[in-house]
């Protein structure tokens, strides 16, 4: 990712300084002395909508801590079709395989919400992980939360309707940015959920008719979050509660 300091805030974001590492919850949870030591190597990077952060099998040189951007982790099939297995925003880090020892992964990371992130050299992170202490504990707790999200997503996609999946997806995405709007086409949502575009169109229309969202020209704005949570299946609350249990606020 090329270094880019041009303003690129996420849609609907109220963030005043997206380069501040405290905008990422994992970085903010680090001990102050560790974060101070890391800061010179946390390089801002602008992430454009639809951009690939990493490809299956690729060896990465940096992990990515989103501050205002949103990244989808996709499982890719041999025929090119894909489905989202997790979403990462200001709650975490993209590239857990690099400190877990795998080096690469079979998934793809794609920007689903334009914005900013902070990239950090793999070597520095691996050194901190090997040294023990609070860094590996925090990263392992985050990895457990991420696995919980992946497991719940698999169950949701198998057992719940498209309208409930869409509610879960919207709520999880909004939890990981600052704001109430997402720049997202129905085609991209369909690719994320692994369903037909017609199904997403029908589900989005229902939510709009009920006054829960407003959808126009590739932008989705949540108007009634409480109502959206009532329409969502239990999968959203399960993921939300697991993150709250495992990770510091």
- Beta strand spans in 34-104 (E): 43-47, 52-54, 62-66, 70-76, 82-88
- 127 and 38 together in one domain: yes
- 63 and 162 together in one domain: no
In a domain, 58, yes or no: yes
Please give the Cα distance from 138 to 163 (Å, whole number): 34
- 27 and 115 together in one domain: yes
- 126 and 56 together in one domain: yes
pLDDT at 42: 97
Supply the CATH number for residue 27's domain. Answer: 2.60.120.10
- 108 and 163 together in one domain: no
- 129 and 203 together in one domain: no
**Residue 175 backbone phi and psi in degrees, to 5:** -65, -20
Is the CA virtual torsion 182, 231, 246, 102 positive or negative?
A: negative
In a domain, 128, yes or no: yes
H or E segment and range at residue 1: none
Q: What is the pLDDT along the chain (249 residues), one digit of tens a residue?
A: 433 333 343 444 444 688 999 999 999 999 999 999 999 999 999 999 889 998 888 888 899 999 999 999 988 777 767 778 899 999 999 998 888 777 667 789 999 888 999 999 999 999 999 999 999 999 999 999 999 999 999 899 888 888 888 899 899 999 998 788 887 766 777 666 666 777 777 888 888 899 999 988 778 899 999 999 999 999 999 999 999 999 977
- 123 and 163 together in one domain: no
Rounded to 10 degrees, what is the CA torsion of 163, 164, 170, 172? -160
- 129 and 161 together in one domain: no
User: Contact at 8 Å (CB) between 228 and 165?
Assistant: no
Which of 99, 133, 167 corresponds to the end of one domain?
133
- 89 and 29 together in one domain: yes
Q: Edge-to-edge strand order for the sheet containing 213-216? A: 181-183, 219-222, 213-216
Supply the CATH number for residue 180's domain. Answer: 1.10.10.10
In a domain, 29, yes or no: yes
| Structural domain count of the chain | 2
- 127 and 49 together in one domain: yes
pLDDT at 36: 96
CA-based nearest residue to 239, from 92, 68, 52: 92
- 168 and 76 together in one domain: no
Domain carrying residue 163:
157-245
Q: CB neighbours of 85 closer than 8 A, spacing ≥ 6? A: 73, 74, 75, 107, 150, 153, 154
pLDDT at 194: 63
């Amino acid at each position: 990712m090329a270094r880019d300091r041009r303003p690129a805030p996420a849609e609907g974001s109220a963030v005043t300084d997206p380069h501040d590492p405290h905008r990422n919850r994992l970085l903010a949870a680090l001990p102050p002395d560790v974060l101070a030591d890391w800061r010179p190597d946390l390089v801002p990077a602008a992430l454009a909508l639809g951009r690939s952060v990493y490809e299956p099998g690729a060896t990465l040189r940096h992990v990515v801590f989103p501050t205002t951007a949103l990244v989808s982790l996709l499982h890719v099939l041999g025929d090119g079709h894909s489905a989202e297995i997790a979403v990462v925003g200001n709650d975490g880090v993209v590239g857990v395989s690099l400190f877990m020892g795998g080096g690469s992964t079979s998934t793809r990371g794609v920007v689903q919400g334009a914005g900013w992130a902070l990239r950090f050299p793999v070597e520095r992170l691996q050194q901190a992980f090997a040294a023990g202490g609070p860094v590996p504990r925090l990263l392992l707790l985050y990895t457990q939360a991420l696995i919980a999200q992946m497991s719940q997503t698999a169950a949701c996609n198998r057992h719940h309707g498209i309208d409930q999946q869409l509610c879960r997806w919207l709520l999880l995405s909004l939890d990981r940015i600052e704001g109430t709007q997402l720049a997202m086409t129905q085609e991209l949502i369909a690719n994320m959920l692994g369903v037909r575009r017609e199904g997403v169109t029908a589900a989005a229309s229902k939510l709009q008719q009920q006054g829960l969202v407003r959808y126009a020209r590739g932008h989705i704005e949540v108007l009634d979050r409480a109502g959206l949570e009532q329409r969502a299946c239990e999968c959203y609350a399960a993921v939300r509660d697991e993150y709250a249990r495992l990770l510091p606020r």
